[in-house]
A and B are shown apart, each in its own frame.
Chain A
């Protein structure tokens, strides 16, 4: 049986661990609060872009006369043969099952569509590292065109390939970077390299309202509505744990009320009047679409960042609680051992005295 000194050392070590996890929890809580604020602040813009687009689509001259569809390549649907999957995970671990769950959903998507060629683009280091072990990277070879220009030609070797990653994007979310990413995706869609684009990420409305979703980014079918094709809700138990952790860190459970601001934002560009269009409606429409796609992406990224911090906060809260439990049981054990030693000594003295 361990002696008192060993147990005391053990307790001290667990106490140190508890301090670390507690600090990490507080840091994550602060970061979560900031991430939530940023996600909220980004909403009016997204809502306004959507509503002005919707109001523009109500103009007849944007529709194709024969098919009745919107005249824009992003609205064209093709049979989905080649799909781009954007996997948004975290940069760091210590966040419970956050990264594992996202990757599980991504794998499910890949395995659930065995007849499609899938390109994977990752945001976040954890997802990149793990997926890189499973799937090969896309190979490009340079080919010289007839006019001497160099073109990148891709040779597909496997059904599922990694086409790119965006390291460091999550550290500081910048709109310009997200817009670049969106434009890249749009141009690949327009060139018909891909027939659809999906995002896998952790949606985060508030601590108790979050889920893993697969959202369709392209083609656009209806503006202003999330095109969720798959969602995994966390279990009740997980929700309770998250809520507990949030309460102890002083984070609000419900999402802040932004209905008023959003209602206001929805009116943008939709007033029931005849607008003068400074530029032709088509060109406005074309200019707005990349912004719209980028705002969907930005939304996904910023919610994923918030969700990652929330997951880490919950995980660290659990770790802190576990450490406390361990300290309690170790202390009890140590006291017992100490008492046993004292009792033993007394018995020895007493029986020694009795033997005299």
Chain B
């Protein structure tokens, strides 16, 4: 991995299948379950559960060379550990915005909405439906932002 200059974070994005990203960067924006949070160098140690949304990595070494200042991944569910000089994201699922299959996400959204309507009194079914809906919505939003 690239040498860390001062006040850079080492960012790693790990999915159950493989390590997707392992580089130095300046800031990371994370979709925690209770809202987005942004991490800079020197952040207090933190562990959080992730929801569905976009991870934005700014000032990464490779992105600078490519002229792009921002790397974005759509992640759904997972955990993150923040240390002053290191961020490790454990995502259940992560992909680049351009890899998102919008049609499938829309189908997922419809499916989620039907579940939501059928949920009735059951809290579990309700949560499950909300989970599916938020995941689909995050995917669609992330894909739309790119295009």
Contacts and interface: CB of A to CB of B under 8 A. Distances in A.
B48 to A, nearest CB: 3
Interface stretch (A2-10, A239-247, A274-282): A274-282
B48 A42 contact: no
B47 A278 contact: yes
A277 B48 CA distance: 6
A179 B17 CA distance: 12
Contacts, number: 82
A305 to B, nearest CB: 13
B48 A279 contact: yes
Interface residues of A, number: 31
B2 interface: no
B34 A278 contact: yes
Interface in B1-44: 14-19, 32-34, 37, 44
A42 B17 contact: yes
A45 B47 contact: no
A41 B17 contact: yes
Given A179-B92, A275-B45, A278-B34, A48 B14 contact: yes
Contact of B49 (A44, A48, A283): A283
A86 B81 CA distance: 33
Given A268-B88, A278-B46, A52 B93 contact: no
Contacts of A320: none
Given A48-B88, A175-B93, A176-B93, A276 B44 contact: yes
A269 B81 contact: yes
A40 B33 CA distance: 29
Interface stretch (A74-82, A134-142, A156-164, A287-295): A287-295
Nearest to A273: B45
Contacts of A269: 47, 79, 81, 88
Contacts of A46: 16
A298 interface: yes
Given A176-B93, A276-B45, A288 B79 contact: yes
26 contacts: A38-B18, A41-B18, A42-B16, A44-B14, A46-B16, A48-B14, A48-B88, A49-B90, A175-B15, A179-B92, A268-B81, A269-B47, A269-B79, A269-B88, A271-B83, A275-B46, A275-B47, A276-B47, A278-B33, A278-B34, A278-B47, A278-B48, A287-B49, A291-B79, A291-B92, A295-B16
Interface in B25-83: 32-34, 37, 44-49, 79, 81, 83
Contacts of A284: 47-49, 79
A45 B92 CA distance: 10
Contacts of A268: 81, 88, 90
A342 B35 CA distance: 92
Contact of B47 (A38, A42, A52, A298): A52
Contact of B17 (A175, A278, A283, A291): A175
A271 B15 CA distance: 21
Contacts of A179: 92
Residue among B15, B47, B81, B93 having the largest count of chain A Cβ atoms under 10 Å: B47
A294 B44 CA distance: 30
Given A278-B33, A283-B49, A298 B16 contact: yes
Nearest to A299: B16
Given A269-B47, A273-B45, A45 B16 contact: yes
A41 B32 CA distance: 25
Contacts of B92: 175, 179, 291
Interface in A27-69: 38, 41-42, 44-46, 48-49, 52, 56
B15 A45 contact: yes
Contacts of A298: 16
Nearest to B35: A278
B44 to A, nearest CB: 6
A255 B125 CA distance: 44
A66 to B, nearest CB: 27
